[in-house]
Amino acid sequence: MYNKLLGDKNNILKKLQNIAPNLSSENCREDASVIEYPNRYNGLSTICVTKSGFSITKKVEYLQPAIFKLLDLSPKDCLEDDSVIEYSNKYNAPSTICVTKISFPFTKKVEYPQPAIFQLLDPSINFLILKIENIIVSYEQLPVSYNQVMIKGALRYCAKLLCKIYDSSEIIVKVKKFVNLIDGLNQQCEVPTTFSHLDLTYIENIFESIEQEASKDGYLPKLEDMSL
């Protein structure tokens, strides 16, 4: 996605190397929409370009002003507040850049607000995220096992995914079905320890198909490519 907007990866890397000399292709992880690099505060920085259903949105997290200039993101005619700069992109749609403060050793992340239209399109998303959180809590009561970790991990991924979806996507329907399938599964075992012995391969397979689709559509990388 960012290739379209910011040029190819090598070009971006070359520019970034001016202020982050230790940056190389090796220490940059790339997936469909995210590049990460170590910044001068020894923290991890991310440039992330995401797609929304009605326009193209650029979201740059932990961006330092220097990078802003290097990437020619036209700071002229920008509206600026504490952390967000808005400007018109080449598609004539409003784009936003988030500039966050870095407080070493941990970075403070300023979340990009989702477009208001998203709320109008599907008001049940917040409810679904809340439901996921409650299910995760209910699974925490079970003894630690692969099944328990798998269910909680899959649900956390789904919650993160829902926060990244900016349009009404078919994947939301899949996630809803998945969440409904899992909800109450832990109640089926009279003895909590027997939950670890259930064969939940089919649930894992459904989750993998969600992962696959999320990564294909550029919402979230697959679990194996996720980082802290």
Interface ranges with other proteins (CB under 8 A): 27, 29, 36-38, 42-44, 105-107, 136, 143-150, 152-157, 160, 196-197, 223-224, 226-228
H helices of the chain, in order, are 2-6, 9-17, 65-70, 116-121, 124-139, 146-164, 170-182, 201-216
C-beta closer to other proteins: residue 187 or 227:
227
**Least distance (Å) between residue 85 CB and other proteins:** 25
**Least distance (Å) between residue 155 CB and other proteins:** 7
| Secondary structure of 84-134 in HEC code, one letter for each residue | EEEEECCCCCEEEEECCCEECCEECCCCCCCCHHHHHHCCHHHHHHHHHHH
C-beta closer to other proteins: residue 54 or 146:
146
Report the C-alpha gap between 181 and 84 in whole angstroms.
39
Report the C-alpha gap between 28 and 49 in whole angstroms.
15
**Least distance (Å) between residue 105 CB and other proteins:** 7
C-beta closer to other proteins: residue 205 or 227:
227
**Phi then psi dihedrals of residue 94, to 5 deg:** -70, 135
**Least distance (Å) between residue 11 CB and other proteins:** 22
Output DSSP code: residue 184: T
**Least distance (Å) between residue 142 CB and other proteins:** 11
Report the C-alpha gap between 28 and 14 in whole angstroms.
12
C-beta closer to other proteins: residue 98 or 200:
200
C-beta closer to other proteins: residue 82 or 199:
199
C-beta closer to other proteins: residue 42 or 134:
42
Say which residue the tokens 């989702």 belong to: 114
Report the C-alpha gap between 87 and 96 in whole angstroms.
7
**Least distance (Å) between residue 113 CB and other proteins:** 22
Is the Cβ–Cβ distance between 5 and 89 less than 8 Å?
Answer: yes
